[in-house]
A and B are shown apart, each in its own frame.
Chain A
Amino acid sequence: MSEKPDIQAALAALKEGFAKKIPAKIEEIDLGWERLQSAPEDKEIFDNLHRQAHTLAGTAATYGFEEIGQLSKEIESMLQSVFTADHDVWTEKSVHDLQRLIDNLKEGEKRIEKPVSHAEPEPEEMPSESGEITHRLIYLVDDDVDFLNTMEMQIQSFGYDVHAFSELAQFDRALEQEIPEVVIMDVMFGDSPRAGIEHVTHINAGRKYPLKTVFVTGSQDVLTRLDAVRANGLAYFPKPVLVEHLIDELDRITHKCREEAFRIVIVDDSVEQSAFAALSLQQAGMETREANDPLQLLNVLAEFPPDLILMDIYMPGCNGLELSRVVRQMEAYVSIPIVFLSAENDLKKQQGAMNLGGDDFLTKPVEPWYLVSAVTSRVQRGRMIRRLAETDGLTGLLTHTKSKERLEAELARAKRENRALSFAMLDIDHFKHVNDSYGHPAGDRVLKSLANMFKQHLRPYDTIGRYGGEEFVVILPNTDVRMAKVIMDKLRVMFSEISHFSDGVPFCCKFSCGVAAYPDFDTGAVLNDEADKALYVAKKGGRNLVVTAPHDSQDFEGR
């Protein structure tokens, strides 16, 4: 780590050099725009301008000039949308908007002495700020060595990377190397009743962002709890610590960093309007789909189940109010928030929109920041409600019904995009024996550790569901049966190597798995049946196996 100052110095020098070049780059863009206005049909001028904006978008933000990067990106997207629109290429509005962006860019140039930078010398903050956390690192600090050892093993069985320290000095040295996602800190060290809290307070005083800390303690004293809160403690667990409670808290803290992007469907007959809304939302990190033909909405919804629908009111063929009624009549979409977007500001009409199943009404033109914040708060609330209804309380995985719905949606998408899709069904071997021998709480921990391990090792767009009891399903988009077997086999081996604990006694569990894939089988029901049959074969074949359903399912009959 000793080379860090040099790196920072080198970065600063590079940045300074780049800053000097920015004015020339912006001038080039401005000039290109002038040329394009006098020759709007000239593809070469257009391409040049597009490339310059694209390049500046990528480079400026990498060097920490985020405002310049952002504006360039908007310019690039605006050019892109003009280029892809197949009718009436340059409208007065698009010319006006682009001019405004370029003016902003020239304004932004004046502020480049103060880059908002992730390249500023605060390297230890990177893991939490960039969201690029690759493993779930936990530092566990306690002078009670027995507690340390059992906790370390137990937390590890839920898929966390745990480093245990019995002395504060060791912990300090580790912090210099790497900042963990969460610190679990004992309150009392030796004779000092609050040494842990004081130590964390001291460390946080020197940091821009406090360590995410969970305190554990043998004391129930209110003043100690208060001190823990003041030291930015996120949670406080009295000993003996129930590991499942601790894991819930760790999951909650670490989950925040990897929440799936919000999914928004925009219904607007105007390509330009929907592109503008899409762009605003995408820049806030959301995923969007646009339905410019209102009659296509149901197809879009089937393939891209959204968190929220943003709908224009006046559209040809079918207006937004009617369309929202159609959506609301379908059970699967009853709970998706619908927000109407229209130039309409007649209050009575707004009321009508609400009665017909819309949840909110935004009047155009909507400022991008307002759109983003209006959508964000509704999606967050909607997700929380849905999470309660659609996920299994113990594991946080999708319920049986929801998993099946997701399979249909993913299958539709796989067909449209002409890609493979695999569906795996798995069942923990001899699970009844676990419950009988070690008790139901231990069984629940096993289910939860499987869920955690899967969440950690599968891709964010894979779906994991709990079908019921000890039965789980996994949907792997864009994965053929051969690859799915490799993945599930890897998970099978990893799971079998986890030590679970019941009253300090370790035990292991295994699972059997059946896999069926599209295009070998082409409906959700058949995939489900075939995976189930393959799972049955795996159980018959001695368990702790992954079996794939053959193209020709007759192969099973003979066994």
Chain B
Amino acid sequence: MQALERILYAEDEADIQQIASLALEVVGGFTLKTCNSGVEALAEIESFEPQLLLFDVMMPDLDGPGALAIIRDLDAFKATPAIFMTAKVQPEEVQRYLAMGAIDVIAKPFDPMTLASQIQTIWEGTQS
């Protein structure tokens, strides 16, 4: 199994960015590229070569689902697993996000102490 190291993370809210960075870099030990919007994520993706995408759903300019749709057209990242983060976790919403090609949805608020292991588990699910 390939170990998860590089996560491309897009979130417009600075407060959430901070705590998620702590959760993923310090607690989880991942290498994180943090972007403020979907547009920024598109600009970074080719040089950073992420193994996993972690996108907030609601962002100005280009939202998470919008960014993912564009990324899916890039040959190198067609199959890169994507996770959405959102406060709307009604089952219909989750289904909708999964239909857009996300492999999982993480609810906000999240627990900063277990976010990394949650993502690790999702990652392991994609590797078997």
Residues on A lying within 8 angstroms of B by beta carbon are 3, 6-7, 10-11, 14, 18, 21, 51, 54-55, 57-63, 69, 73, 76, 118-119, 123, 126-127, 130, 132, 134, 282, 287, 417, 419, 461, 478, 490
Contact = CB atoms under 8 A, between A and B. Distances in A.
Pairs A-B, 5 closest by C-beta atoms:
A61-B109, A62-B109, A58-B108, A134-B121, A58-B87
A21 B22 CA distance: 19
Interface stretch (B12-20, B45-53, B68-76): B12-20
B113 interface: yes
Given A18-B15, A54-B58, A62-B16, A118 B113 contact: yes
Interface string B88-120: 001100010011000000001111111001100
A230 to B, nearest CB: 31
B16 to A, nearest CB: 5
A118 B118 CA distance: 15
Given A58-B13, A62-B110, A134-B121, A14 B26 contact: no
B98 A132 contact: no
B114 A14 contact: no
Nearest to A289: B92
B27 interface: yes
Given A58-B13, A58-B109, A126 B114 contact: yes
B84 to A, nearest CB: 13
B119 to A, nearest CB: 11
B19 A63 contact: yes
Interface of B: 13, 15-16, 18-19, 22, 26-27, 58, 87, 90-91, 95, 98-99, 108-114, 117-118, 121, 128
7 contacts: A7-B113, A59-B13, A61-B108, A61-B109, A126-B114, A130-B111, A419-B99
Contacts of B87: 54, 57-58, 73, 76
A11 B22 CA distance: 8
Contact of A287 (B18, B91, B112, B118): B91
Given A62-B110, A119-B113, A478-B95, 11 more contacts: A6-B26, A11-B22, A58-B87, A59-B108, A62-B16, A63-B19, A69-B109, A119-B111, A127-B114, A132-B114, A287-B90
A132 B111 contact: yes
B114 A10 contact: no
A59 B16 contact: yes
A57 B87 CA distance: 8
Contacts of A55: 13
